[in-house]
Chain A
């Protein structure tokens, strides 16, 4: 049963690597937010609480990458599956080609079949190319190579980024009602 679940999880992670990365990030951020809130409750100022939370957490990006990679790894050897997939694709393309040429070439049916076969193979080729490039992008995202991802502002980002200390100072300031950022976040509703 666990083998089936592991396979389903692997296929999900393989199909949606960016979603997995987002989930991991949300989970790790939640931890840091909780730690920051606990530090504030124990009497620290927001800036100190935030810094202490990040320090006690360790290397955020390394742990995020590790978690994503573990999610994408299978608990069994994926090589036979990959080989099987390649063989199946090759066989499918062969059968399709035979089907397309196994009629008189200049008849309407012959031309129609060839067009259908070319269209299907082109779609398959484009789909595989897109899937591969999406996986490559997701890997970059997980490794935090993507600059765009690093620069994209998002909610509560001030807990994580080292690169925007000035913004941290502004966000970390008390608002007009004297609430800290974490209080604003948790008690705004």
Chain B
């Protein structure tokens, strides 16, 4: 049975980006790959939509970026999590668990 890809709920992309970057600095393409990898390729993300998300997170001070050279010797912009971003990720994870738990409880109610 093939895996069906789920669309993203509003606001979850930011959390996924933070999660992907919690494992180390990455460029935009790498972040997309890592999200696919950690979600077992189950989430459907329009690749370009990552970038406005990245810029928003950078503006909030949760991630920071710098230009560097990638594995294939091309210039690429690498992002990494800031201390504020790490704290925010913990908060987002807690919120998400609470929300998911409450939703599950509501769905299982008879």
Contact = CB atoms under 8 A, between A and B. Distances in A.
B4 interface: no
Interface string A63-76: 10011001101010
Given A23-B77, A186-B72, A28 B48 contact: yes
Contact of B61 (A6, A58, A60, A63): A6
Interface residues of B, number: 27
Contacts, number: 79
B28 A31 contact: yes
Interface string B66-84: 0100101111110000101
A189 B60 contact: no
Contact of A71 (B29, B49, B55): B55
A30 B48 contact: no
B76 A27 contact: yes
Given A2-B61, A75-B59, 13 more contacts: A2-B82, A23-B77, A24-B51, A28-B48, A30-B74, A30-B75, A30-B77, A31-B28, A31-B48, A57-B48, A60-B48, A63-B51, A70-B55
Interface of A: 1-3, 5-6, 9, 23-24, 26-28, 30-31, 33-35, 37, 56-60, 62-63, 66-67, 70-71, 73, 75, 186, 189
5 contacts: A5-B61, A9-B58, A28-B28, A28-B51, A31-B47
